[in-house]
Amino acid sequence: MKNDQQLQQDVMDELKWDPILNASEIGVSVKKGIVTLSGYVNSYSKKIAAESAAKRVKGVSAIAEDIEVRLGLDDERNDTEIAEAALDALKWNSNVPNDRIKIKVENGWLILEGEADWQYQKDAAANAVRDITGVKGISNLVMLAPKADVSVIEKNIRRALQRSADIEANNIDIRTVGNKVIIKGKARSWAERSEIERAAWSSPGVTEIEDDLLITT
């Protein structure tokens, strides 16, 4: 098992490995397996990339992300320009029900509202706009519309977990409360945790997930 110093070095190396990032801009500290990222980057996409890089490192049990987006003079956009670019980005993405998604921008912070049928559509909306120049952050408030019998949601998810070669299904407990899915148990990595969530979101009718999984190494 890695100690905190080894884990810190691995995270720093992973940040250096990502070509989109300038690792010198990002501070890394580790305490009891919890990684804290700090510093300043010039785009929201770099902030997301840094968090993703840390999650790829084996042994990371949790992440505290304190990175701030500070735009350079050439990257500054007013809210109207950001909103126009975001609308265009949503229109060009076939996975986004753009006629049901509303956009609001406040001081560079982009807020998505409206309704979608599937979690992948909600995720696609955020992914479509996160690389827009001038965006400092995103709040994805898009709601999911339930369209399935809640009695079959739990059964569908359990079957999906059992089918997956990347998931140890015996370590996972699934419970449903209406259209909400509560996931408990242990995941061996952030990658497995993400795969478990993906499987749960793929069940028709799921509108909310409470992820109480523990990352074990």
pTM of this structure: 0.77
pLDDT, residue 148, reads 62
CB 180 within 8 A of CB 144: no
Tokens of 55: 């999650």
Q: By C-alpha distance, which of 211, 181, 39, 206 is closest to 120?
A: 206
Map out the domains of the chain with their CATH numbers: 4-70 (3.30.1340.30), 74-144 (3.30.1340.30), 150-215 (3.30.1340.30)
Q: What is the mean pLDDT of each run of 10 residues along the chain (217 residues)?
A: 91 95 94 94 94 93 94 89 97 94 96 94 96 95 80 86 90 90 93 92 88 88
DSSP 75-98: G---HHHHHHHHHHHHHT-TTS-G
pLDDT, residue 216, reads 84
What's the rounded Cα separation, in Å, for the pair 103 and 164? 36
pLDDT, residue 86, reads 97
pLDDT, residue 70, reads 92
In 71-217, where does DSSP find H-type helix? 79-91, 119-129, 153-163, 190-201
pLDDT, residue 55, reads 93
pLDDT, residue 205, reads 83
